[in-house]
């Protein structure tokens, strides 16, 4: 499916956003990229660098409602509470399922290391077994607990693993009235593409707040895979934050809608929340 960049009011009202955009630091009005002429395209690497350099708080807590909608419109709903904290360069994320009852108390923990050559560590608590399972982080392209986001998407939030792609800025564009840079990302190797499940990604990155408002994914065979839109972007504690993410999976016709609430940055979070014991105890 080709991305729609029509700027009519109706369409632009619902269009365009990034990967798992959650948050983004605001840019100052004197940003040199914004000030430059549209034809002076920044390099893809520099755009991605700005996306990844966004301040997104040392800690983050938020509630997340997931809606999973199949091709016949049947809807499933999950409610979670998530926590994220930076330990230096290392990012730790914990997600606790609150409902529905049949998956309540399931919990997911990941340690995302800054070193590109170090695999992340991931754990999943399964209440039916009452055990924390160590799970491989290498199959990053697997879909996360029934959603249309992959484990990699969930882990990176709105950021992009720069080491996995080559980038090229295609053009400047406008999404919902916002100036964006359209950046193409191509996996650096077939092996990485297979791991990620993506053969090509195109991002419509807001040139002011450095969030991708729309992201198109193709699979490793070059077929359209899914479209992610980041919506309801608002500033919280000085950090631009997307409160709604929508994914349309073109091959399965499955949809996922993430709605974030109670988003709070830089609250004090106990380090012990990011441990196996905490997964077992739950919230």
* Beta carbons of 167 and 183 less than 8 angstroms apart: yes
Residue among 77 and 171 whose Cβ is closer to another protein: 77
- 65 contributes a contact to another protein by CB under 8 A: yes
Comparison of 185 and 273: residue with beta carbon closer to another protein: 273
Query: Could you say which residues in the range 143-162 bind another protein, by CB under 8 A?
Result: 143, 145-148
Helices (H), 59-189: 151-156
72 Cβ contact list (under 8 Å, min separation 6): none
Q: Judged by CB, which is closer to another protein: 31, or 142? A: 142
Q: Give the whole-angstrom CA distance, residue 163 versus residue 168.
A: 14
Q: By CB under 8 A, what part of segment 8-27 binds another protein?
A: none
Taking the least distance from each CB to another protein, the nearer of 195 and 206 is 195
Among 142, 184, 219, 266, binds another protein (CB under 8 A): 142
Contacts of range 268-272, beta carbons closer than 8 Å, 24 or more positions apart: 268/59, 269/59, 269/61, 269/83, 269/85, 271/85, 271/87
What is Dmax (Cα atoms) for the chain?
58
Which residues of 102-164 form beta strands (DSSP E)? Answer: 107-112, 121-126, 131-135
d(CA 283, CA 269): 13
Quick note: the x/- pattern for another protein over 97-126, rule CB under 8 A, is -xxxxx-x--------------x-xxx---
Which residue, 55 or 134, is less far from another protein as judged by CB? Answer: 134
* Interface contacts to another protein, rule CB under 8 A: 63, 65, 68, 70, 74, 76-77, 79-81, 98-102, 104, 119, 121-123, 127-131, 133-139, 141-143, 145-148, 197, 252, 254, 261-262, 272, 275-277, 281
């Amino acid at each position: 499916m080709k991305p729609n960049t029509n700027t009519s009011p109706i369409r632009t009202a619902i269009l365009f956003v990034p990967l798992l955009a959650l948050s983004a630091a605001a840019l100052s009005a004197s940003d040199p990229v914004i000030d430059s002429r549209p034809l002076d395209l920044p390099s893809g690497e520099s755009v991605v660098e700005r996306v990844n350099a966004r301040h997104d708080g040392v800690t983050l807590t938020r509630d997340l409602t997931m809606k999973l909608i199949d091709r016949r419109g049947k809807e499933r709903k999950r409610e979670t509470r998530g926590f994220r904290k930076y330990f230096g360069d290392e990012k730790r994320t914990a997600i606790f399922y609150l409902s529905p009852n049949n998956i309540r108390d399931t919990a997911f923990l990941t340690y995302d290391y800054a070193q590109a050559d170090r695999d992340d560590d991931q754990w999943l608590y399964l209440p039916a077994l009452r055990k924390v399972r160590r799970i491989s982080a290498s199959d990053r392209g697997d879909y996360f607990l029934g959603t249309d986001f992959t484990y990699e998407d969930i882990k990176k939030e709105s950021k992009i693993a720069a080491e996995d792609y080559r980038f090229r800025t295609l053009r400047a564009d406008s999404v919902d009235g916002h100036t964006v840079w359209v950046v193409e990302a191509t996996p650096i190797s077939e092996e990485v593409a297979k791991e990620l499940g993506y053969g090509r990604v195109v991002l419509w990155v807001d040139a002011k707040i450095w969030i991708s408002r729309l992201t198109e994914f193709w699979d490793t065979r070059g077929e359209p895979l899914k479209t992610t839109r980041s919506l309801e972007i608002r500033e919280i504690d000085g950090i631009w934050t997307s409160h709604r993410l929508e994914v349309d999976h073109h091959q399965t016709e499955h949809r996922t809608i993430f709605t974030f609430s109670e988003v709070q940055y830089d609250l004090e979070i106990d380090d012990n929340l990011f441990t196996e014991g905490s997964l077992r105890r739950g919230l």
